[in-house]
Amino acid sequence: MRGWRALCILLPFLGILSCGKQEHQRPVGRVSDKPAYGDSFVVGSIGEPSNLIPILASDSASHDVAGQVFNGLVRYDKNLRLEGELAESWDISPDGLTITFHLRHGVTWHDGQPFTSRDVLYTYRVTVDPKTPTAYADAFKQVKRAEAPDSYTFRVTYDKPFAPALESWGMGILPAHLLEGKDITKSDLSRRPIGTGPYIFREWEPGQRIVLEANPAYFEGKPYISRYVYRIIPDNASLYLELKAGGVDMMGLSPVQYQRQTNTGEFLSRFSKYRYPSFSYVYLGYNLRHPLFSDRRVRQALTSAIDKEEIVRGVLLGMGKVAHGPYKPGTWAYNPDIHDFNYDPDRARTLLAEAGWRARNADGILMKDGKPFTFTILTNQGNDLRLRTAQVVQYRLRKIGIDVRIRVVEWASFLSHFIDKGNFEAIILGWTIGQDPDQFDIWHSSKTGPKELNFIGYKNPEVDRLLEEGRGTFDQEKRQRAYWRFQEILAIDQPYTFLYVPDALPAVSARFHGIEPAPAGIMYNFIKWYVPKEEQLY
């Protein structure tokens, strides 16, 4: 389950649970450091979970809570490598078509029933059942045959090798004995889940909180912290006040809160602040079907004219990194040798002149065939950072003679009136970066249809081939080669101007010990967190 955080698309700035390691401020001089059982951990969230059956929910709040209650067969470890969770190990056949999972013995559901391959088979079947309203059937649909030869073996066979397949088995496994033969959409489990995970569901007070209790029989040992409380506080300002008042133990800070409002000695003595790159990036995307942007040189010029460092400094207050491609710096798929176009307005002018933008009108705007170079950047409402980013871009492009207008649109009409109809010139949006580097759906030329994710209309035969190659093998070296080359091509083609990777900035109450920031963030070892006896509050 823990691998499924990548699902929280477009919420990068709340990404408490994202990953990497950078910096960590922690109060010093604490008294004791002995692990002890007890206390509650209260996490504040803007959104309320919608459904605690993992395959039925697509919001990050649901997956945050369900992730503590359910386990997948596999998960990402602290270094973002896949490891077994409910599966002790797995074998991939030499041709890459069959995966055999060897399941853990002695795992029990929270109601005491044993966990077996029947549960895995059920989870697979219900997910691909056309009557189940799930958004996650596609990876499982690639499966040609699924079978459970015995209670602790589960085998799947694919038509062709499919690398993201392994990750897809990180989906939470559901209890067959409670669901088989019933309508999953009307099941009680969506409000009162029963899983195999480290925490047992206790109660849900709608709109207020969800309380989970430590599972004494958890197969990796009983978690130290007795209760995991998920509090719903829909307003960010109230959430922040609650944190300061002690009503909440952890929240994701905004750059302003991190940099300007939480540096008092009082705050630092009560909270540890963490900082690491989140699994997301923000980009300026061009509609490649639009005549303005069909020329690659124009896109290269636009990237050259934008000072990405300035955006990171001005908009994120330094709490982020410049992006050069669609992968997170430091992960194996990220190509560190990419030569993107750095800030160089002179090169921008030269490139534009080559593309035919030479003349200028009375306002100093570049002209070609009697038309001025002017376009509109669209972005979605409710994200201040993106709006401010657009303003910095506007300022920089005006300097080289391009007139940019900014339009902020409500999310629903943004999608239906502009994106789905291809009715836009440029957009500022963000993507969550999945742990698996497969980005077929965003860049492959077969995904340019209406409502598909390659809405900018990017088509490059070599990229198509590389993407197919990358998902068609389990060999990490081959995959890395394909994705590194893919990034080189993107850096030249510039279908997007990749802008920045924002930092995740969680603050956690200092009474929690045992937090070890890693590439996977801080939450991966939550069951090992503890509060020393004399500091326990609840």
Partner 1 sequence: MDYSCTDLSTLNSELFMIRYLAKRLLMMIPLLVGITIITFGVIHLAPGEPVEMQIAMNPKVTAEARERLRKFYGLDRPLHVQYLTWVTRLARLDFGRSFAPDNRPVIDKVRERLPVTLSLNLIELILVFGLAVPIGVLAAVRRDTVYDKGTTLFVFLGFAVPTFWLALLLMYLFGVKLGWIPISGLHSLGYKTHGFWWQLWDLARHLVLPISVATFGGLAGLSRYMRSSMLEVIGQDYIVTARAKGLPERVVVWRHALRNALLPVITLLGLSIPGLIGGSVIFETIFAIPGMGQLFYGGVMARDYPLVMGILVIGAALTLVGNLLADLGYALADPRIRAGSEGGGSR
Query: Rule CB under 8 A: which residues touch partner 1?
Result: 7, 9-10, 40, 42, 50-51, 56-59, 62, 130-131, 133-139, 185-186, 190-191, 205-209, 229, 231-235, 237-238, 241-242, 244-245, 247, 411-413, 415-417, 429, 431, 434, 439, 441-442, 449, 451-453, 538
- Residue number, 11 or 402, with CB nearest to partner 1: 11
Say how far apart CA 2 and CA 9 lie, in whole Å.
15
Q: Are 526 and 223 in contact (CB under 8 A)?
A: yes
- Residue number, 137 or 338, with CB nearest to partner 1: 137
Phi first, then psi: give them for residue 106, nearest 5 degrees. 75, 15
Closest distance between partner 1 and the C-beta of residue 326, in Å?
11
Residue given tokens 């409502």 in the structure block? 451
Cβ neighbour number for residue 374 with a 10 Å cutoff: 15
Closest distance between partner 1 and the C-beta of residue 176, in Å?
21
- Closest to 505 (Cα-Cα) out of 385, 410, 333: 385
Say how far apart CA 269 and CA 289 lie, in whole Å.
54
317: left (phi over 0), alpha (psi -120 to 50) or beta: left
- Residue number, 286 or 414, with CB nearest to partner 1: 414
The alpha carbon dihedral of 90, 91, 92, 93 has a sign of negative
- Residue number, 94 or 130, with CB nearest to partner 1: 130
- Residue number, 3 or 506, with CB nearest to partner 1: 3
Say how far apart CA 437 and CA 164 lie, in whole Å.
8
Q: Are 44 and 239 in contact (CB under 8 A)?
A: yes
- Amino acid (one-letter) located at 434: G
Residue given tokens 């952890």 in the structure block? 250
Closest distance between partner 1 and the C-beta of residue 236, in Å?
10
- Residue number, 148 or 233, with CB nearest to partner 1: 233
- Residue number, 177 or 191, with CB nearest to partner 1: 191
- Residue number, 411 or 475, with CB nearest to partner 1: 411
Closest distance between partner 1 and the C-beta of residue 522, in Å?
22
- Residue number, 41 or 218, with CB nearest to partner 1: 41
Say how far apart CA 207 and CA 247 lie, in whole Å.
16
Closest distance between partner 1 and the C-beta of residue 39, in Å?
11
Closest distance between partner 1 and the C-beta of residue 304, in Å?
28
Closest distance between partner 1 and the C-beta of residue 208, in Å?
6
Residue given tokens 């409710």 in the structure block? 382
- Cβ contacts of 186 within 8 Å, gap of 6 or more: none
Closest distance between partner 1 and the C-beta of residue 241, in Å?
5
Closest distance between partner 1 and the C-beta of residue 518, in Å?
25
Closest distance between partner 1 and the C-beta of residue 250, in Å?
15
- Residue number, 146 or 453, with CB nearest to partner 1: 453
Q: Are 397 and 302 in contact (CB under 8 A)?
A: yes
Residue given tokens 């300061």 in the structure block? 244
Say how far apart CA 210 and CA 157 lie, in whole Å.
38
Say how far apart CA 359 and CA 138 lie, in whole Å.
51
Residue given tokens 């085998």 in the structure block? 155
Say how far apart CA 19 and CA 501 lie, in whole Å.
11
User: 366 forms bridges with which residues in the sheet?
Assistant: 360
- Residue number, 115 or 281, with CB nearest to partner 1: 281
Alpha helices by DSSP H, listed for 57-206, are 60-69, 117-128, 137-141, 164-168, 176-179
Closest distance between partner 1 and the C-beta of residue 262, in Å?
13
Say how far apart CA 96 and CA 81 lie, in whole Å.
19
- Residue number, 7 or 311, with CB nearest to partner 1: 7
Q: Are 105 and 111 in contact (CB under 8 A)?
A: no
Closest distance between partner 1 and the C-beta of residue 487, in Å?
17
- Cβ contacts of 483 within 8 Å, gap of 6 or more: 327, 333, 335, 437, 466, 470
* H/E element, 182: none
